C-alpha cells in the first residue's frame, strides 16, 4: 500500500505542512504503509486525532470550549471537531444522520487499533498479522474522516486574531482591506505600497507589501478594525490620467 490509498490525508497533511507533530505522524503512516505493517492502523488513528486537534484549536470558542480531555477516545475528538465546524447544524436531516456515521467510522478505527495495532498495547507474540484488506479498511476509514474534516475546515470562517493560518488564507478579507485602507508611503500604479527604510549612509531599503499583509503580520486587532471599516466603505474610484496630473 502507498499514500495513493489516502489522498485526503495526503492533502490535509500538505496543507498543514508547518505542523511538526502532524508531519511526524504522517511520516509514520507512510513508512508503515510501505513496509506493509499493521502499525499503519495506529498511525491512521493517531493522524485522525491530530487533525481533530488542529481544527479544534483553531475554531473552539474559549468562552464555551468543546475540546475533549487528552485521554478521551477518538469518537469525542471527531464529534468535537464536527461541532466546531458547525456541521451538526445541517438543515437536512438525512445529511445530519450521515455526518453522525463519521463517529461510527471513528469508533471502528478505535476498536481495530486497540485489538490489532501493534503499537497500542502488547499483543500475543505468536498471533498472525492482519491481512492487507484489514489495513486497507482502516486507512480508507481514516481518509474519509480526515477528508471530510479538512474540506469542511477550508470553508470555515476563521478568527484572524487567533488563527495560525497564513495571510493567504484570508484572501477575500485581504482584498477588501487593500481596496480601502491606504498607507502614507510611495506607491506606483498597480504595485503594492513601498515602505522606504532609511539606512545609515543615506541608502534606502524599499519593501513592497500589501496593506492587509502588513496589518496581519504586525497587529491582528488592527487588521480586524481595518476589515470592519472597509466592509462599509464604497468601492474605490480609479482616477484618470488627467486627474493624476500625468503627461
Q: What is the structure's pLDDT at 145? A: 94
Q: What is the structure's pLDDT at 150? A: 95
60 within 8 A of 84, measured Cβ to Cβ: yes
87: Cβ contacts below 8 Å, ≥ 6 apart: 99, 152
pTM above 0.75, yes or no: no
Q: What is the structure's pLDDT at 143? A: 95
The residues pairing with 206 across neighbouring beta strands, listed in sequence order, are 196
Q: How far apart are CA 11 and CA 13, in angstroms?
A: 5
Q: How do residues 189-241 score in pLDDT, each as one tens digit?
A: 556 777 777 777 777 778 788 888 889 988 999 999 999 999 888 876 655 54
All three cell numbers of 208: 513592497
Q: What is the structure's pLDDT at 7? A: 95
All three cell numbers of 35: 513496509
List of the chain residues with pLDDT < 70: 88-97, 99, 117, 119-129, 183-185, 187-191, 236-247
Q: What is the structure's pLDDT at 241? A: 46
Q: What is the structure's pLDDT at 107? A: 84
Please state the separation of Cα 159 from the chain's center in Å: 13
181 within 8 A of 211, measured Cβ to Cβ: yes
* Strand, coil or helix: 194: strand
45 within 8 A of 139, measured Cβ to Cβ: no
Q: How far apart are CA 84 and CA 81, in angstroms?
A: 5
162: Cβ contacts below 8 Å, ≥ 6 apart: 58, 220
Amino acid at each position: 500500500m502507498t499514500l495513493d490509498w489516502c489522498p485526503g490525508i495526503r492533502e490535509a497533511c500538505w496543507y498543514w505542512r508547518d505542523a511538526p507533530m502532524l508531519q511526524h505522524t504522517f511520516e509514520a503512516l507512510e513508512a508503515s504503509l510501505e513496509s506493509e505493517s499493521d502499525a499503519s492502523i495506529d498511525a491512521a488513528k493517531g493522524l485522525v486525532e491530530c487533525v481533530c486537534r488542529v481544527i479544534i484549536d483553531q475554531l473552539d470558542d474559549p468562552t464555551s470550549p468543546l475540546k475533549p480531555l487528552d485521554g478521551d477516545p477518538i469518537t469525542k475528538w471527531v464529534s468535537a471537531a464536527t461541532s466546531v465546524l458547525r456541521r451538526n447544524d445541517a438543515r437536512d436531516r438525512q445529511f445530519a444522520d450521515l455526518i453522525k456515521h463519521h463517529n461510527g467510522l471513528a469508533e471502528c478505527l478505535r476498536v481495530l487499533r486497540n485489538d490489532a495495532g501493534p503499537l497500542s498495547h502488547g499483543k500475543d507474540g505468536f498471533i498472525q498479522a492482519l491481512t492487507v484488506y484489514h489495513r486497507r479498511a482502516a486507512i480508507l476509514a481514516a481518509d474519509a474522516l480526515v477528508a471530510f474534516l479538512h474540506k469542511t475546515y477550508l470553508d470555515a470562517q476563521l478568527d484572524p486574531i487567533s488563527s495560525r493560518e497564513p495571510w493567504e488564507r484570508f484572501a477575500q478579507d485581504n482584498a477588501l482591506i487593500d481596496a480601502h485602507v491606504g498607507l502614507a508611503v510611495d506607491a506606483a500604479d498597480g504595485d503594492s505600497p513601498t515602505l522606504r527604510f532609511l539606512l545609515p549612509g543615506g541608502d534606502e531599503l524599499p519593501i513592497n507589501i500589501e496593506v492587509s499583509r502588513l496589518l496581519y503580520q504586525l497587529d491582528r486587532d488592527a487588521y480586524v478594525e481595518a476589515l470592519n471599516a472597509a466592509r462599509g466603505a464604497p468601492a474605490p474610484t480609479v482616477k484618470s490620467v488627467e486627474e493624476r496630473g500625468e503627461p
